[in-house]
Structure 1
Amino acid sequence: MAATDDVLSRSRIDAALAGLPDWRYRLGGLVTVYKAPTPAAALELIAAVGRVADEQNHHPDLDWRYTRVFLRYSSHDAGDEVTPRDVAAAGAASAAAAGLGAAAEPGLYRTVEVAIDSADPAAIAGLWRVALGYRKGRYGSLVDPFGRGPALWFQQTSAPNANRLHLDVHRSAAESGPVLEKTAATGALMNRDHAPGWVVVTDVQGNRFCLATEEGHGPDLPSG
């Protein structure tokens, strides 16, 4: 079991990522997407990642979509944070991908959270956890133990918005520019008060969501 002392600070994560160009930091994990030349090559990559996982006794969240393989490493036994094991595993996965001719497309990896405004999150979190079959995650969030559904977190506020539910859509800062431009071009209201950490988007009917990045909040602060 990993000790919390193994958790990497944001500066150490950034230093590690300088040597892992295929990867991005995201909400307590390292993420990327690899596009293989063929579906068969994608399966070979999955098998290679599986072998590395067994050797290192550290397993990723993995999703296969045709020629693309989505990967996320996080140390759940260290509070869902990044540790040196994640860095080592990401490096090994990159080597396996390179050997199979798979190209990194980290900008494709987006993470969606459902956020609920609440003056008293503790009063409602238990109900949502039981109903969804989730477990407690970072900073009071609720997460799918199998990594299938979106995370749920409670934004504590003394004055909840009339529309209490909104989405937080996380992308890497390096790839967020075009998305922000295209979103603004639709005529949506763009509140950039917290940029580059997040931009609050409101549609013409008053529904909100946040386009968030890893900038402005690291392993010590949630977004939104």
Structure 2
Amino acid sequence: MGSNDILSDQQISDYLEDLPHWREIPGGIAAVFQTKTAASAIELFSDIAGAAEMDNHHPDVDWRYNRVFVTTTSHDAGGRVTTRDIALARRISEQARALGATSRPGLIRTVEIGIDTADRQQVAAQWAAGLGYKQQEDGSLADPNHRLPAIWFQKTEDPNPNRLHLDVWVPFSESQPVLEALGSESTELDSQYAPSFTVATDRQGNRFCICTEQDR
């Protein structure tokens, strides 16, 4: 395969079998590494930056004390996962192991905001202007700086009274503890679409979905 070939979901899954630190998220792959000290986390951050420059392929990296959150996608391929992402992920994992960092896949989360509407065009421009977002080919809105949650519009002629909901993306392999924790809080769970997504409703009627990459 070429260095920038777009991968199918099955190909991503096959590659990730050899990359145990990484999980698929919407439009990318992600990992979380924990080091013994903040200084080691900064060193890992620096190593990732060096690898990114060498590959001319730059992931999103977030340093939080002794944890480093990494997401990589190919923006020049329409925000899809390519073989370049796999190569970079492998290099980053090697650097993390060299520093003695541990993998924390249970911390991987991606949040999107869903808005019920019968007419997306009537409201999309206001949201884009207010947040400084850009409209995507599929009609969703995205932060051009890749920091804030994406917004997508769920077309419905009969919007739910709670028109906004969060889609919380969790790797399928890490989703069961999340659902069990919600169940222990007496949260109402609608699992008819699981494992693709499970609709959770809190005690005050607010909805959010626990989404995974399975059955997409």
Q: Would you say same fold, with TM above 0.5? A: yes
Aligned partner of 1:126 in structure 2 is 125
Which residue of the partner structure matches residue 194 of structure 1? 193
Q: Give the 3-state SS of the residue equivalent to 1:114 in structure 2.
A: strand
Structure 1 contact 80–137 (Cα < 8 Å) conserved: no
**In the alignment, what sits opposite 2:184?**
185
Q: Which residue of 2 aligns with 1:173?
A: 172
Q: Distance in 1 between matches of 2:94 and 2:185?
A: 40
Task: Give, in whole Å, the separation in 1 of the partners of 2:189 and 2:5.
Answer: 38
Counterpart of 1:11? 10
**Cα drift, residue 122 of structure 1:** 2.4
Question: Deviations 1:145-183 (Å, cap 9, x if unpaired)?
Answer: 222211111111222111100011111111111110110
What are the Cα deviations for residues 183-204 of structure 1, in whole angstroms up to 9, with x where unaligned? 0111111100100111101122
Cα distance in 1 for partners of 2:46, 2:203 equals 46
Supply the AA of the counterpart residue of 2:154.
Answer: Q
With normalisation by structure 2, the TM-score equals: 0.95
Task: Give the % identical residues.
Answer: 47
Does structure 2 retain, via aligned residues, the 8 Å contact 1:80–1:138?
Answer: no
Could you tell me how far apart the structure 2 residues matched to 1:145 and 1:59 are?
15
How far the C-alpha of 1:135 sits from its partner, in A, is 1.8
Distance 1:138 1:46, change over 3 A: farther
Counterpart residue number, 1:220: none
Q: CA deviation at 1:138?
A: 6.2
Greater alpha carbon shift after TM alignment, 167-176 vs 140-149: 140-149
Aligned counterparts of 1:162 and 1:82: Cα–Cα separation in 2: 36
Q: How far apart, in 2, do the equivalents of 1:9 and 1:126 lie?
A: 32
Following the alignment from structure 2 to structure 1, what is the Cα–Cα distance between the partners of residues 134 and 74? 15
- Which residue of structure 2 lines up, in the alignment, with residue 116 of structure 1? 115
| Closer/same/farther in 2, CA of residues 138 and 195 from structure 1, 3 Å limit | farther
| Count of residue pairs the alignment pairs up | 215
8 Å Cα contact 1:28/1:81 also seen in 2: yes
Distance 2:84 2:166 in 1: 30
Counterpart for residue 20 of structure 2: 21
Distance 1:8 1:69 in 2: 25
Unaligned runs of 5+ in 1: 218-224
Secondary structure (helix, strand or coil) at the match of 1:98 reads helix
**For the structure 1 residues 138 and 8, does the alpha-carbon distance in structure 2 shift closer, same or farther, using more than 3 Å as the test?**
farther
Whole-angstrom CA distance in 2 between matches of 1:30 and 1:60: 10
* Number of the residue aligned with 2:36: 37
How far apart, in 1, do the equivalents of 2:129 and 2:57 lie?
28
TM-score, normalised to structure 1, is 0.92
Q: 2:141 matched to 1:142?
A: yes
CA distance in 1, matches of 2:24, 2:106: 11
Letter in 2 for 1:182: A
Residues 61, 72 of structure 1: 8 Å contact kept: yes
**What aligned pairs does 1:30-69 form with structure 2 within 5 A after superposition?**
30-69=29-68
Contact 1:191 1:199 in 2 (8 A): yes
Segments of 5+ residues of structure 2 without an aligned counterpart are none
Across the aligned residues of Structure 1 and Structure 2, the Cα RMSD in angstroms comes to 1.6
Q: Which amino acid aligns with 1:90?
A: A
